[in-house]
Structure 1
Amino acid sequence: MSDTIEPAQLDAEEAESLRKTHYNATVIERIDVHDDLARFRIRPDEPTVPFDPGQYVAIGMGNWEPRLPGTQTEMVPENKLRKLGRRAYSISCPLLDSAGVIAPVNSIDYLEFYVTLVRRADDEHKKPPVLTPRLFMLDAGGRLELQRKITGHYVLGEIDPGDTVLMLGTGTGEAPHNAMSAHLLANGHQGKVINATSVRQRRDLGYAKEHALLMSQYANYRYLSFTTRDPENLDPSHPGYVGKQYLQSLFTSGRLAELAEDPLSPANTHVFLCGNPSMIGYVPPGADPPATPGMLQVLGDAGFSDEHDSIGAGSIRFEKYW
């Protein structure tokens, strides 16, 4: 006899009892960018303690909850059916409130998350994705668990008022940079604040309108977006052909500095990296360097440092998701 059971087979009364026991937060708004990408605004039942932009927190949902149709089937063992599956997410930011006024993370009573739906594992030997196929079943009013501890070392730290802040992200790695950008601008940072992101297609730019409005309000803010899989990236016959726009090549070519209207010099620039490990280029101790240099290698060649005790201009901070 099988020891697995489909999540949907837990009876409704017990499922509701488990939700009341474990869940402590409500989705108050869901903003769909497209079918596989959304912004979730989640309000905890109890206010969160103040936290630093760039930090993260875990979201949880019960293994008994239904999964979005079209996602990978998951068979949950009976002894795990009543437990929660969790995943940590960097906290994003709405950037602007409903009146168009800048809204840093500690000015609002909810947490915003920028989430990609993972429909199936990228390897047949890996377990099916636990959280997002369930999270994407929720609309406004949906309940879930939001862990109380907000943590993480990927934070701004000490930055002189006139320094340049360069944030480089891929995909939803933009999330903590949105929180950092809003914080810097709301607190009167005078230097350039450059939030650059590379995504597969323009449709993956979930905050494009907010960034445009923010740039119209703050002369020192730049949001730079690049793509790698739109027609102009792939088709040499396209009239606007630019090739695949990777942050590493944009930096080394000088194009990033040109668009930022800033030399991006280690003499006055702090760099933050979040997203695809290939973009970041972190090399664990004893491992071989990547065949294609990541930003850590590119920035190192330009005079920046990612040493743990490196602070101030010329330093690199990066978020690890692996």
Structure 2
Amino acid sequence: MNKIVVTPPTQAEIETLRRTTYNATLIQRIDIHEDLALFRIKPDTQTVPFQPGQYLTLGLGYWEPRVQPTQEELLEPKKLRKVVKRAYSISCPMLDGLEQLAPCSELDYYEFYVTLVRRADAPPALTPRLFHMQEGDRIFASPRIVGTYVLSGVQPDEDVVFFATGTGEAPHNAMSAELLSRGHRGRIVSATCVRLRRDLGYLAAQMRLSTKYTNYQYLHFTTREAENTNPGFPGFVGKQHLQQVVESGIFEAAAGMKLDPERTHVFLCGNPAMIGYQPPGAPPLSSPGMLQVLKKRGFHDHGEDGPGQIRFEKYW
């Protein structure tokens, strides 16, 4: 029996695939460094109303080039004309060029905060292609925006605390801008942990926002700077994982507030080890995550409306 040979699409076929598959344009790309960037993507039609904290799916054809150096990818023939898709929480610039609040509802594009994955258990498919894109290039953006990691039940005078690792900060930026646009009166604290300070992609905007709104505060912690890893370094503090800064009291001292389950909503997004979620049948956790730390303080799983709840989003 003759073997069917599947050849890669020609350039003419690629142009047809792009025209029939993609429905949005990359209008701005802001590189924080070579492995971290903000992507602003505008759909061909109007943006869809959504609740801050939700996510949509981005997609690029396997026929698109990949940025290098990244792990080698050997595609199965059946993928040559298919699209790789991944879900991303929608972020927010928070402030516009005139230093005015810019919640998602006032934007005509979607903003995404993305880390380039160069190597993984399986060759990464989407981010190497996304990081090869230039402004004006086309992409698929799902018209359907979904997710339950939202601000439902938060009242104007209650405190809200967001804990994130890395790009898990994205939905918290959207939610913080939304709360401030509502005239939220309670405290809003957004705490982020990254490896290195250069990974704080929103630091400048966050600092300006903290100055502009007295009830908003941004705290950032690192794990791999010299003060985290070198005991002889002046000001050595050790690795500052979020669960550790909460347990030690560092968070409450820095925020100037108590994590009070009687008035505080907590949101967690990012690394599974930080969150501390243990799926059924999984091995015991090697160390407590935020879920375990907060429950000791009287917080509880998301359920009925009201403060004291822990809501979490996970990227795995």
**TM-score normalized by the length of structure 2:** 0.96
Q: How many residues align?
A: 314
Q: Which residue of 2 aligns with 1:312?
A: 306
Tell me whether 1:246 sits opposite 2:241 in the alignment: yes
Q: Which residue of 2 aligns with 1:102?
A: 101
1:2/1:100 Cα in 2 relative to 1: closer, same or farther (>3 Å)?
Answer: farther
Unaligned runs of 5+ in 2: none
The 10-residue stretch of structure 1 (308-317 or 238-247) with the greater mean CA deviation from structure 2:
308-317
Instruction: Indicate if the aligned counterparts of 1:3 and 1:77 stay in contact, CA closer than 8 A.
Output: no
Alignment partners' CA distance in 1, 2:196 and 2:261: 31
The 10-residue stretch of structure 1 (280-289 or 14-23) with the greater mean CA deviation from structure 2:
280-289
Q: Which residue of 2 aligns with 1:137?
A: 132
Instruction: Indicate if the aligned counterparts of 2:25 and 2:44 stay in contact, CA closer than 8 A.
Output: yes
2:228 to 223, 228, 233: 233
1:213 to 194, 208, 216: 208
| Cα distance per residue 1:148-192 (max 9 Å; x no partner) | 110001001111211110000000000000000000011100011
Instruction: Indicate if the aligned counterparts of 1:168 and 1:247 stay in contact, CA closer than 8 A.
Output: yes
1:185 to 175, 180, 197: 180
Question: What's the secondary structure of 1:244's corresponding residue?
Answer: coil
Q: Which residue of 2 aligns with 1:298?
A: 293
| Cα distance per residue 1:109-159 (max 9 Å; x no partner) | 0000000000111x3xxx211100000011110110001110001001111
| Cα distance per residue 1:46-67 (max 9 Å; x no partner) | 1122100000001000011111
Shift of 1:310: 3.5
Alignment partners' CA distance in 1, 2:136 and 2:28: 8
Unaligned runs of 5+ in 1: none
| Cα distance per residue 1:249-305 (max 9 Å; x no partner) | 111111101111111111100000000000000012344431200000000111000
Counterpart AA for 1:317:
R
Instruction: Indicate if the aligned counterparts of 1:248 and 1:279 stay in contact, CA closer than 8 A.
Output: yes
Q: Which residue of 2 aligns with 1:74?
A: 73
Counterpart AA for 1:97:
D
| Cα distance per residue 1:217-247 (max 9 Å; x no partner) | 1000000000000111000110021100010
Instruction: Indicate if the aligned counterparts of 1:4 and 1:77 stay in contact, CA closer than 8 A.
Output: no
Instruction: Indicate if the aligned counterparts of 1:163 and 1:313 stay in contact, CA closer than 8 A.
Output: yes
| Cα distance per residue 1:66-106 (max 9 Å; x no partner) | 11121112122222211100000000001111111110111
Instruction: Indicate if the aligned counterparts of 2:92 and 2:104 stay in contact, CA closer than 8 A.
Output: yes
Instruction: Indicate if the aligned counterparts of 1:4 and 1:75 stay in contact, CA closer than 8 A.
Output: no
Instruction: Indicate if the aligned counterparts of 1:165 and 1:194 stay in contact, CA closer than 8 A.
Output: yes
Tell me whether 1:146 sits opposite 2:145 in the alignment: no
Within 5 A, what are the aligned runs for 1:1-322? 9-121=8-120, 123=121, 127-306=122-301, 308-322=302-316
Shift of 1:13: 0.9
**TM-score normalized by the length of structure 1:** 0.95
Counterpart AA for 1:84:
V
Alignment partners' CA distance in 2, 1:174 and 1:2: 47
RMSD: 1.4
1:3/1:310 Cα in 2 relative to 1: closer, same or farther (>3 Å)?
Answer: farther
Counterpart AA for 1:153:
T
Instruction: Indicate if the aligned counterparts of 2:32 and 2:38 stay in contact, CA closer than 8 A.
Output: yes
Instruction: Indicate if the aligned counterparts of 2:271 and 2:314 stay in contact, CA closer than 8 A.
Output: no
Instruction: Indicate if the aligned counterparts of 1:181 and 1:193 stay in contact, CA closer than 8 A.
Output: yes
Alignment partners' CA distance in 1, 2:234 and 2:210: 28
Runs of 4+ in 1 over 3 A off after TM superposition: 1-5, 286-289
Alignment partners' CA distance in 2, 1:129 and 1:48: 28
Instruction: Indicate if the aligned counterparts of 1:24 and 1:145 stay in contact, CA closer than 8 A.
Output: yes
